[in-house]
Amino acid sequence: MSADGATELEDAYEELLRFVYATPVGLLELDASGAIGIANPVAMQLLLQFVPPEGLTNFFSVMEVLAPELRNLVDGFRPAAGIVCENHRIFAGPASRREAAESKVLGCTLVKLGPNRLMAALLDISVQIAQERRLNEAEAWFSSLIDDSNDFAVVMLDAAGRISAANDSVLQQTGLTERDTIGQQLDIFEADDLCSSRTPPAEKLAAARRNGWHLEEGWHKTGNGGRYWCQMLVTVRAGAEESPGSPIAGYTAILRRAQQHQFNSANLKQLLTTDHLTGARNRAHFFEVAERECLRAIRFGQPLSVIMLDVDHFKHVNDRHGHPAGDETLKTLAQACSRLIRNSDVFARVGGEEFAVLLPATDLQSAAETAEKLRACVAATEIRAANATLQCTISLGCAALNAEARDIPTLLAAADAALYKAKHSGRNRVVVANTRQTILEPVSIPTLELSAKGG
């Protein structure tokens, strides 16, 4: 090759490098085991949200907690080459427990190029997911307006969120007089409901300002002291057209009686808040509800507890019986536990084999009793995997809000520390935070298969 040719080639190579350095999509080349061979900076940036730099060697290991199914998808893909998954959604939740506010959703495309070569593309689709959710909710709402000729209560609010007018239907639906409502905030219509989380009025308005509307469902009061399931749409009334930058004129809220959970948005919400593998609530939902319940508990001086639980020797299940058996273990466990908790509790998968239970209006002693029920139930449950019937146990740590733990990260850290103690004092047991005492001694399981080693 001539000197000019070589320079030209070097130049082209450098241009290409510069192009890939700046590519705003994460790209990785992997071998069949998931070992990362080639990666561009965005791939590293996205993965660094979940693991420290030293953990960035194997893609499937990085994803073990958030999307263990990726490895199974690749293992189960029989063709010699082809698309394994396209824009598979990874609900990453907050990057750490301490960043509860921000939920991330990644879209992952995996292409098998040969027996030992895979390409992965990663894209942060958090914003699109949030938009999609809002659009779907709005679509469901507007189609229900067309389909249905129910009576709508209309409430006008001023720019500060105080009720300035209400139509006759409001009075029929709620039993409140105009005098009762004028000057009040939107929560005046809401029934006391310990079992679900409510967005405070200011947050509803903030969401409406951000998105143009805010849609919410919940129990509302009727005139005779009862309650009804109400869908509420809050929209923004824009300021004067000639000065678009001016503050908004106010808000309009429409209240509509509905069948509970019949609405599309409820199904959609179910999809967006559920862990696809286990059917438990997902991590993002857990943190969303936990933050809200925490504020409420502090405001009303009520107790709030959490239980962190973790499958004993889970690594051993995967190593010995394969990942499908591991998945089956998590599914069976989640189903068994979900049956034991109250509707007001939230049972969520927060990590690979790690689950959390949020227990509103529950003190530490009651939480420990619930934890023991979960422990006993799991220990007595048989797990039917394809090639074996297994039994497994869980370790649990409980903590409750108190003078030292007054926020969710601290509360979870306390429950985590208790869980750690439970693990290190023999597993298959419940430990309560801030006490050295194991409240409930484990029951021996005659044919405990999974007692060798591992997590």
Partner 1 sequence: MLATTSTDYRFETIALGALDGLTGEQRDILSFGVIGLGADFIAEIYNATESRLAGISPARVLGSQFFLNIGICMNNYLVAQRFEDEPELDTIIDYVLTLRMRPTPVRLRLLQSPSIARRYILTQR
Contacts with partner 1, residue ranges (CB under 8 A): 13-15, 17-18, 20-22, 24, 36-45, 48-49, 53-54, 56-57
Q: Which is nearer to partner 1, 66 or 215 (CB)?
A: 66
Task: Compute the least distance from the CB of residue 31 to partner 1, in Å.
Answer: 13
Task: Compute the least distance from the CB of residue 429 to partner 1, in Å.
Answer: 37
Q: Which is nearer to partner 1, 49 or 184 (CB)?
A: 49
Task: Compute the least distance from the CB of residue 66 to partner 1, in Å.
Answer: 17
In whole angstroms, give the CA distance from residue 151 to residue 129: 32
Q: Which is nearer to partner 1, 39 or 253 (CB)?
A: 39
For the purposes of burial, counting CB atoms within 10 Å of the CB of 225, is it exposed (0-12), middle (13-18) or buried (19 or more)?
exposed
Q: Which is nearer to partner 1, 17 or 298 (CB)?
A: 17
Task: Compute the least distance from the CB of residue 12 to partner 1, in Å.
Answer: 12
Q: Which is nearer to partner 1, 24 or 446 (CB)?
A: 24
Q: Which is nearer to partner 1, 20 or 191 (CB)?
A: 20
Q: Which is nearer to partner 1, 49 or 72 (CB)?
A: 49
Task: Compute the least distance from the CB of residue 9 to partner 1, in Å.
Answer: 13
Q: Which is nearer to partner 1, 39 or 140 (CB)?
A: 39
Counting every residue written for the chain, the total comes to 455
Q: Which residues contact residue 210 at a Cβ distance below 8 angstroms, ignoring those fewer than 6 apart?
A: none
Task: Compute the least distance from the CB of residue 46 to partner 1, in Å.
Answer: 9
Residue keyed to tokens 């934890």: 371
Task: Compute the least distance from the CB of residue 90 to partner 1, in Å.
Answer: 18
For the purposes of burial, counting CB atoms within 10 Å of the CB of 44, is it exposed (0-12), middle (13-18) or buried (19 or more)?
middle
Task: Compute the least distance from the CB of residue 116 to partner 1, in Å.
Answer: 18
